[in-house]
């Protein structure tokens, strides 16, 4: 799982090659994880599927969303090669 960016110490934005649509990234640290949809003009939190059990807090979720929105163009460009891998 390639790390696209690190911020705020241990927070990582990662992508899984060949992952499902919509285009999204996973924002993780040692305790929490959220999925952020980056396919549109604004970053949006994605609800985990029934199989996924992500833990998060409102503060972590908001921080992840703000960071992804601020870096949306960069993230969209970086994930292209990983979504095209499948």
Q: Give pLDDT tens digits for 45-72.
A: 998 877 778 899 999 999 999 999 999 9
Q: What is the pTM of this model?
A: 0.89
Q: Taking residues 4-12, report their average pLDDT.
A: 90
Q: Are 33 and 19 in contact (CB under 8 A)?
A: no
Average pLDDT of the residues of the chain? 91
Structure tokens at 85: 């891998």
Cα–Cα distance measured from residue 52 to residue 61, given in angstroms and rounded to the nearest whole number: 16
Structure tokens at 79: 């994930």
Measured in Å, how far apart are the chain's first and last C-alpha atoms?
14
Work out the burial of residue 65: count CB atoms within 10 Å of its CB; fewer than 13 is exposed, 13-18 middle, 19 or more buried: middle
């Amino acid at each position: 799982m390639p790390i696209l960016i690190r911020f705020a110490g241990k927070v990582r934005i990662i992508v899984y090659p060949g992952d499902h649509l919509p285009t999204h990234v996973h924002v993780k640290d040692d305790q929490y994880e959220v999925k952020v949809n980056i396919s549109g003009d604004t970053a949006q939190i994605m609800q985990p599927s029934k199989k996924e059990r992500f833990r998060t807090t409102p503060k972590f979720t908001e921080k992840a969303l703000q960071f992804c929105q601020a870096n949306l163009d960069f993230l969209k460009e970086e994930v292209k090669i990983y979504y095209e891998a499948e």
